[in-house]
Amino acid sequence: MNKLQNYVLGKWVAGDGEGVPLKNAVNGEVIAHASTKGLNFSDILDYARKKGNPALRKMTFHERGRMLKALAFHLQNHLEKFYSVSYNTGATKNDSWIDIEGGIGNLFSYASLRRKFNDDPFYVDGEPVPLSKNGNFIGRHIWVPKEGVAVHINAFNFPVWGMLEKIAVNLLAGVPAVVKPATVTSYLTEAVVREIAASKILPDGALQLICGSAGGILDHVQSQDVITFTGSASTGNKLKSNSNVLKNNVPFNLEADSLNCIVLGSDVEPGMPEWDIFLKEVRREMTVKAGQKCTAIRRIFVPENRMEDAWIALGKSLGQTIIGNPANEKVRMGSLAGLEQREEVIAQVKKLLASSRIVYGSLDSVELIDADFKKGAFVSPLLLANDNPFKSAEPHSVEAFGPVSTIMPYKNNDDVITLANMGMGSLVSTIVTADNNIAKDFIYGAGSHHGRILVLNKECAKESTGHGSPLPSLVHGGPGRAGGGEEMGGIRGVRHYMQRLAIQGSPSAITAVTNSYHRHAAVTEDEKHPFRKFFEELRIGDAVITGKRTITEADIVNFANVSWDHFYAHVDHTALGGTIFEKPVAHGYFILSAAAGLFVDGKKGPVLLNYGIDECRFIKPVYAGTTIGVKLTVKEKTIQDQKDENDVPSGIVKWLVEVTDQLNEDVAIATILTMVRRKN
């Protein structure tokens, strides 16, 4: 008997007993058995906290990001193996691509996100907050990794993506994970984790896997842990109400299946590009993963005068979908994940039929290629029609988690907003329209009940990732029925695994804590100009205070001629009435250029190039006769990755530029960046 193993406490172990049989979704044959019986969940969580967490916390964001990048490249070398296993779940090649390579894509995305963070184990958030009149007492917010473990309880529909999209975030944050995939498809998750473990890329304890029942794992979570759940709302709410979870106030992110909708705009008619886009999107969302997606379209709203045209056209489109063994290259829709899933879908469809009728498909049979309906978990795409959506509760409350959608009519734009919101909270909605005002009204009206809204038209359709594709850079989640949770979303997702902390103190103290220079903090001056120092030699707070320069009328006129910037405030004495200026004022960019002339050491040295400006403010007008000086201070440092062995080793240095006048008042403040050579 083939038994899946659990990867816990740094080793692979099988659970006790026979375990749960896991069957091939296409032919019903038993693939393996899964069991977590005999595992000590308390020890597993402690191993993550005591072994994996300290190792990850010591790493900087950039080191964690490079770790994710290495892991993504490693997994790409084993795609063929993952695809061969994925066919057993009923997934087609395209379905598997979304699951497997989509999951790896999340690793790459969060690896790249490291550049948005400072090169430290913690994250400095927002701007300094002045807390005193003279600037000697300030505040700042930082985020530090939690000292616990992320417990991910995932759904059966995406055994790879569901794991990788979550661990990419917690690992970048510096927190280890215990992953519990849905048992029915856990054999695919196990195959991926085997390669992750074999790579030795992650620190010990950073990732553990349990295949089978989660047992009482939530009875052992602590306040520093984070729980995520993807699946049905009823199961999620049951887990969320665990007494230990409530007692310890353990963060619980719930992402539940929802009754997502698509709206055909009232402006769209047959023959328009948007009409064909609408048909294609509905067909895709009904048939990809055989409709087993938390983001799949369950409700279709069309103008009442387009109702018959729409369902007839959708029926013809669905009729072109070839269904059967996903290993067959001709097949475009495979099976559900198992026979239990098919029974559940049929039961839910029967509830929907209390107020709707089937206009395409059959509950009892489906034409298949290279497959047996009696052995595999196949089901026909089912398009239902409901003529009274305001009077029917079922379409807005019952979900059949398969290739099932209900088409319904609406009278006007206000009606369709109300209907969309009757789903009581959804992950995503799409409106297909060529009228941006219709889209604007829909977003304002339905936004409170949705986590994401896609506006689809001919301009973006070719490049759109589609209704059902959550993206790592955007938040994924939704209110109400959808769970009220939120994951991914770039930096926003990383924060879920960190503690936000307000710190207060002197500018020098806050500078030391954050590794970021704050105004009024102590600086270090020496005879060696900072531009003469290599990246490793520069220290936060290294500064140069320049000599002075008096701005002349000739400077202003010459800069206007060189730059072609003849804005009236700089060159026209007669046009200043009613303005804040007393006389022609120097260009802000000239002041910044003049400042550079004062602080730059022009000799060839470690500074390779000007990398840009992060922020710049012109605070006080500078007139001819004003004398300016500059303080240039090392603000932050970040090592650059070398693209190849020939790339010059370097880092990016942020410099605070403070330009003052003869009254020692600020006239300009900027943060500039330079690329500086490293010694090694």
Which of the residues are catalytic?
255, 294
Helix (H) or strand (E) holding 200: none
Does residue 167 contact residue 244 with C-beta atoms inside 8 Å?
no
Neighbours of 435 (CB within 10 A): 16
Structure-token pair, residue 276: 């064909």
User: Among residues 154, 150, 31, which one has the least CA distance to residue 496?
Assistant: 150
Integer Cα distance of 339 and 519 in angstroms: 65
DSSP 8-state code for residue 15: P
Structure-token pair, residue 628: 């300016």
DSSP 8-state code for residue 50: I
Integer Cα distance of 532 and 511 in angstroms: 23
User: Among residues 377, 445, 517, which one has the least CA distance to residue 27?
Assistant: 377
Residue 652's DSSP bridge partners are 638, 675
User: Among residues 281, 246, 152, 253, which one has the least CA distance to residue 208?
Assistant: 152
Integer Cα distance of 289 and 321 in angstroms: 13
Q: Contacts for 457-462 with beta carbons within 8 Å, 24 or more apart?
A: 457/273, 457/274, 457/277, 457/432, 457/433, 458/273, 458/274, 458/277, 458/434, 461/273, 461/277
Integer Cα distance of 508 and 517 in angstroms: 8
Place of tokens 């009696």: 374
Integer Cα distance of 274 and 282 in angstroms: 12
DSSP 8-state code for residue 453: E
Q: How far lies 436's CA from each of 445, 552, 582, in Å?
A: 14, 51, 46
Integer Cα distance of 306 and 294 in angstroms: 27
Structure-token pair, residue 511: 């500078």
